[in-house]
Amino acid sequence: MTYLAKPKFKHPSIETNDLGLSHRDYEGAISTLCAGCGHDSISSAIMRACFELSLPPHRIAKLSGIGCSSKTPTYFLGQSHGFNSVHGRMPSVLTGANLANRDLVYLGVSGDGDSASIGFGQFAHSIRRAVNMVYIVENNGVYGLTKGQFSATADTGSKSKKGVTNLDSPIDLAAMALQLGATFVARSFSGDKDQLVPLIKAALEHEGAAFIDVISPCIAFNNHEGSTKSFDYVRAHNDALNTLDFITTKAPIAVEYPEGETQDVRLHDGSTIRLRKLASHYDIADRHAAMAYLHQADTSGEVATGLIYMDEDAADMHSRLKTAKRPLNAMPDEALVPGAVALAKINASLR
């Protein structure tokens, strides 16, 4: 497709955020994905979340692997740092970047093929190491870019576009993330922006490994009857645990709900997410109950969405490793190269 530059014109009365930026400042290049692809809706939810949080675009780093999903960072946050890595390798590149510069906001974008097949090990280790990031999988159950083969998240018994039945067991990435120690786990649907935008905002404010599995139908290869990742299927089987309001310290939401229906959860920056509980006894602080709930929903063919688990007191990789507060690129030479005496001391301690 020929690249068409977007006009730079902004309407004078366009909405702006605390930085004086409009949503146009969070856009990227024009998408070349199939019209109607779920992934484009996720891009737009990411732009909305970053705009509403007033994140400076140049303080965000977006990283991805290979796939239609991994192409999407080109289509949002055009003024942010970006690195389109190798298939399945986004997590290790993101981990390295985060170790070198902890001051950026890290956004990892991946696909179900990218994270549940070739990159499964990388996904697992970045989560268990508590890398401070938002890790989004745009999950369509197929390898969209290579023409629709089943991916490892395709449900047993689901049918391909050509009518072939998937015989293998699916990998539930949200359940895996819970098991691996992620401190923020959510699932959403690309067709539900009201749920997805506050989830992304909360994940961006979370300090630790935040994982969001977003069911994102591939309209070219996996949106037919017999698919469990189609728009119709997800709409019909969406079992939402909660809905969220994101409340910043500056602009509290005044809406009151009857006692017992809401739960306020504190975020790292002092803001709050207010959960409106739809599953009355669900407790987002109980990791084991969350795993059981996911299993139960899966057994009954439902897609559990919403904030599944969150640890309010999470600590990230840097606090575990007690690394220096200052990013490597901001350290003076003396700190980076401590000299022969210090090196001899380190070597001696290892003998």
Ligand X SMILES: Cc1ncc(C[n+]2csc(CCOP(=O)(O)OP(=O)(O)O)c2C)c(N)n1
Instruction: From the list ligand X, Mg ion, ligand SF4, none, pick the one residue 125 interacts with, judged by a Cβ distance below 5 to 8 Å according to partner type.
Output: none
Q: Output 126 or 140, the one with its CB closest to ligand SF4.
A: 140
Nearer to ligand X, 173 or 308 (CB): 173
Among 41, 69, 98, 183, binds ligand X (CB under 6 A): 69
x/- binding map, residues 125-154, to ligand SF4, per CB under 6 A? ---------------x---xx---------
- Residue of 21, 68, 174, 307 interacting with ligand SF4 (CB under 6 A): 68
Residue among 41, 98, 122, 140 that touches Mg ion (CB under 5 A): 140
* Angle at the Cα of 141 from the Cα atoms of 195 and 93, rounded to 5 degrees: 80
Which token pair is 62? 């977006």
**Cβ closer to ligand SF4: 220 or 289?**
220
Q: Per residue, what are the HEC states of the chain?
A: CCCCCCCCCCCCCCCCCCCCCCHHHHECCCCCCCCCCHHHHHHHHHHHHHHHCCCCHHHEEEEECCCHHHHHHHHECCCCEEEECCCCCHHHHHHHHHHHCCCCEEEEEEEHHHHHHHCHHHHHHHHHCCCCEEEEEEECCEECCCCCEECCCCCCCCECCCCCECCCCCCCHHHHHHHCCCCEEEEEECCCHHHHHHHHHHHHHCCCEEEEEEECCCCCCCCCCCCCCCHHHHHHHEEECEEEEEECCCCCCCCCCCCCCEEEEECCCCCEEEEEECCCCCCCCCHHHHHHHHHHHHHCCCEEEEEEEECCCCCCHHHHHCCCCCCHHHCCHHHHCCCHHHHHHHHHHHC
We find the least distance from the C-beta atom of residue 290 to ligand X, in angstroms, to be 25
Rule CB under 5 A: choose which of 25, 27, 40, 112 binds Mg ion.
Answer: 112
Task: Pick one of 123, 221, 233, 282: the residue that binds ligand SF4 (CB under 6 A).
Answer: 221
Candidate residues 25, 26, 27, 39; the one interacting with ligand SF4 per rule CB under 6 A:
39
Q: Does 279 bind ligand SF4 (CB under 6 A)?
A: no
Residues 28 to 47 in contact with ligand X, rule: CB under 6 A: none
Pick 37 or 212: Cβ nearer ligand SF4: 37
Contact (Cβ atoms closer than 8 angstroms) between residue 203 and residue 134: yes
The Cα–Cα gap between 181 and 290 comes to 12
Closest distance of CB 173 from Mg ion, Å = 11
Q: Which does 66 bind (CB under 5 to 8 A by kind): Mg ion, ligand X, ligand SF4, none?
A: ligand X
Check binding of 63 to ligand X (CB under 6 A).
no
- Which of positions 139-178 make contact with ligand X (CB under 6 A)? 140, 142-146, 151
Q: Which residues pair with 64 in a beta bridge?
A: 84, 109
| CB 91, CB 123: distance < 8 Å | yes
Pick from 137, 202, 218, 314: which binds ligand SF4 (CB under 6 A)? 218
Query: x/- string (CB under 6 A) for ligand X, residues 97-116?
Result: --------------xxxx--
Residues 141-160 that bind Mg ion (CB under 5 A): 144
Binding of ligand SF4 by 43 (CB under 6 A):
no
- The residue from 68, 273, 284, 291 that contacts ligand X (CB under 6 A) is 68
Q: Report residue 243: phi and psi, to 5°.
A: -115, 155
Span of 52-60, 85-93, 106-114, 172-180 interacting with Mg ion by CB under 5 A: 106-114
Chain residues that interact with ligand X, rule: CB under 6 A: 66-69, 87, 111-114, 118, 138, 140, 142-146, 151
Chain residues that interact with ligand SF4, rule: CB under 6 A: 33-34, 37, 39, 68, 140, 144-145, 218-221
